[in-house]
């Protein structure tokens, strides 16, 4: 199991991600990218304080609180991604000689696959919430850091698109067609909303550059 944590250096995370260890993998990288996106929005909000921004202070402070909450969620999801992968690998290694063992292993793999779908879906939800908050302050933040806010939006969409790939590869392994259809519909709705929010945010950003 990977020992990478949120408190590791950037260098150590990159070294572990580039190693032959399967974790941290793409899901963890997506969580980190999402957190960087929230950080860029938070920076833009922090630099939009004072009398000049008094009319928008409620929205700006709300965005700051939201970015803090969502960054914490990204930290938890990075750990959850590693845990979900490790759980799936443990399920694959379960014995399968006897019928009872095969049945137990099948159920364990199913549950681990569900976990491996739900974690990146939650990350997509986090990205959507962060983009909604980013859009809400795009027109009123400090113009000197509007490009940074736009970069935050791009990072959030990239994280969501990355999480989408993780959802899709695990959906392909899911045997229950009803559950598969449920998660497929959810991922389609989420990514459509995320792309729209990113596009709307960048339109404001480019208009202010």
Rounded to whole angstroms, the Cα distance separating 183 from 169 reads: 12
State the pLDDT at residue 68. Answer: 98
- Mean pLDDT within 11-36: 95
130: closest CA among 165, 155, 96? 155
State the pLDDT at residue 4. Answer: 79
Q: 19 CB contacts (<8 Å, ≥6 apart)?
A: none
DSSP 173: T
Q: pLDDT tens digits, residue range 134-158?
A: 999 999 999 999 999 999 999 999 9
- Mean pLDDT within 77-96: 95
* Residue 137: CA count within 13 A, CB half-sphere: 41
pTM: 0.94
pLDDT bucket at 5, cuts 50 / 70 / 90: confident
The yes/no answer on whether domain 10-208 falls in CATH 3.40.640.10 is no
């Amino acid at each position: 199991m990977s020992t990478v944590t949120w408190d590791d250096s950037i260098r150590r995370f990159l070294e572990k991600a580039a190693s032959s260890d399967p974790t941290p993998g793409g899901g963890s990288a997506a969580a980190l990218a999402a957190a960087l996106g929230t950080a860029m929005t938070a920076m833009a909000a922090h630099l939009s304080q004072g009398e000049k921004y008094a009319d928008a202070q409620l929205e700006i402070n709300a965005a700051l609180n939201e970015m803090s909450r969502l960054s914490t969620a990204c930290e938890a999801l990075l750990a959850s991604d590693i845990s979900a992968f490790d759980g799936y690998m443990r399920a694959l290694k379960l014995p399968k000689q006897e019928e009872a063992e095969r049945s137990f292993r099948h159920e364990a793999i199913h549950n681990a696959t569900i976990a491996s779908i739900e974690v990146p879906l939650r990350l997509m939800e986090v990205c959507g919430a962060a983009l909604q908050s980013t859009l809400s302050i795009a027109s009123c933040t400090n113009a000197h850091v509007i490009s940074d806010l736009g970069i935050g939006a791009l990072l959030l969409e990239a994280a969501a698109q990355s999480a989408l790939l993780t959802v899709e590869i695990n959906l392909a392994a899911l045997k229950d067609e009803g559950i598969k259809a449920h998660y497929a519909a959810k991922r389609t709705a989420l990514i459509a909303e995320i792309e729209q929010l990113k596009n709307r945010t960048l339109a404001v950003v480019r208009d202010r550059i």
